[in-house]
Chains A and B, each alone.
Chain A
Amino acid sequence: MKKIKVGMADYNVVKAPGILTTLGLGSCVGIALYDKFNKVAGLAHVMLPSSKEIKNNENKAKFVDTGIELLIESLLKEGAVMKNITAKIVGGAQMFSFNNNSSILKIGERNVLATREKLKELNIKILAEDTGGNYGRTIELDAEDGSLLVKTIGHGTKII
């Protein structure tokens, strides 16, 4: 089956049969969107919470807000219908911790919060979430049924 890799600050969509995967998510967030009636799946690997906080924001796939918008645009082009789209979100870990917890180290948490907020604003329901912690995750989104496989090092494997 077709397995498409989505890199950092990148996104892609696929119609069933097909799998979208992103490897080694740390503080970044993997946003999996799915239309189960039309079997269209989309995955974005975003790095930062908001394009509005930053001057250099040309790369839209880098941010939660603009990344989700881009992803939805592509999903609709592939035949998905807005009202069918549901979400699963993964990642947003804090890989390193220091006493003086600077905001950059909490970026994972901020990415997750921004993702929830943006999805809520768009009325997209979050079906499942595997976020936070201090470990990395590899994910695979199956366009056949929208299932999302989450693999970790030492924290198990699960399907959400």
Chain B
Amino acid sequence: MDVENLNSMMIDVLKEIGNIGSGNAVTALSNMLAKRIDMMVPKVRILEFNDVAEILGGEEEIVVGIYLDLNADIKGNIMFILDLDSALNLTNMLLDKEDDELGDIAISALSEVGNILASSYVNSLSSLTGLKITVSVPSLAIDMAGAILSVPAIQFGLIADQVLFIETVFKEGKSSVYGNLFLLPDMASFEKILSKLGVL
């Protein structure tokens, strides 16, 4: 199966996966913060390498990226991205502080948020498909969006000239936290998910 020739039914299934997975993840985050979080309808994005960083405001935009490896029946990655202000607002909310830069504890808290979001996403995907999926420990980087997104882009570069991911944008009630959650399955795992759901 190629990234280039997914039909509309496959795209719909991927959107629904994003919907269920990120719905769960966002609920977990909302519970953790005891705040209302709004989630946009997930998008299935198929982008040229050049356009990947644009969705985060350009290659040089500084973002916090939390990256997790998915393994077992399904391989792929989950990536959680926040702009710097959102990361700071989120950790201040979590830790009940008013810091103006990200300290060690804040960074560790962000990794944990990434962990919880990814686990809830994957749990719902797992119960939906009956496939076993394990999540690695999170790895965090604060850097230029282009540099951070080069990691999933290269992964797709191995099999295609485009990058496919399911993107969910969410924000906290007053928009002080704005984040992107990406699911990046590898194409073989994609086929597995689709066939488990009876689409392929």
Minimum CB–CB distance for A138 against chain B, Å: 6
Determine whether the beta carbon of A95 is less than 8 Å from that of B150. yes
B157 touches A25 (CB 8 A): no
Asked if B189 is at the interface of the complex by the 8 Å CB criterion, the answer is: no
Whether A7 sits at the interface, judged by CB under 8 Å, is yes
Checking B142, B153, B158 against A54 with a beta-carbon cut-off of 8 angstroms, the contacting residue is B158
Residues of A within 8 A of B160 (CB): 56
Query: Hey, which chain A residues are within 8 Å of B67, CB to CB?
Result: 95-96
**Mask: chain B, 127-138; 1 = CB below 8 Å from A; 0 = not:** 000000000110
Is there contact, CB below 8 Å, between A98 and B139?
yes
A7-B137 Cα distance, complex, nearest whole Å: 31
B183 at the interface (CB under 8 A from A): no
Interface locus among A77-85, A112-120, A129-137: A129-137
How far is the CB of B170 from the nearest CB of chain A, in Å? Answer: 22
- Contacts known (A26-B149, A47-B49, A153-B62); A104 close to B154, Cβ less than 8 A: yes
Q: Which of B60, B139, B150, B159 contacts A28 (CB 8 A)?
A: B150
- Is B153 a contact partner of A136 (Cβ separation < 8 A)? no
Do A10 and B143 touch (CB < 8 A)? no
In chain A, positions 19-76 with a C-beta closer than 8 Å to chain B are 23-28, 47-48, 54, 56, 58-59, 62
Q: Report how far A56 CA is from B162 CA in the complex, Å.
A: 11
- Residue B52 interfacial (CB < 8 Å): yes
- Pick the residue among B53, B141, B144, B157 that contacts A96 (CB under 8 A): B141
Taking a contact as CB atoms under 8 Å apart, the answer to whether B62 and A47 are in contact is no
Question: Least Cβ distance of B199 to chain A in Å?
Answer: 24
Query: Could you tell me the dominant secondary structure of chain B's interface residues?
Result: mixed
What interface size band does chain A fall in?
Answer: 20 to 34
Q: How far is the CA of A28 from the CA of B157 in the complex (A)?
A: 11
State whether A8 touches B142 (Cβ < 8 A).
no
Please name all residues of chain A whose beta carbon is closer than 8 Å to the beta carbon of B69 when the two chains form the complex: 98, 100, 102
B146 at the interface (CB under 8 A from A): yes
A102 to B71 alpha-carbon distance, docked (Å): 12
Contact among A62, A95, A102 for B147, CB-based, below 8 A: A95
Given contacts A96-B151, A136-B146, A136-B147, contact A24 B49 (CB under 8 A): no
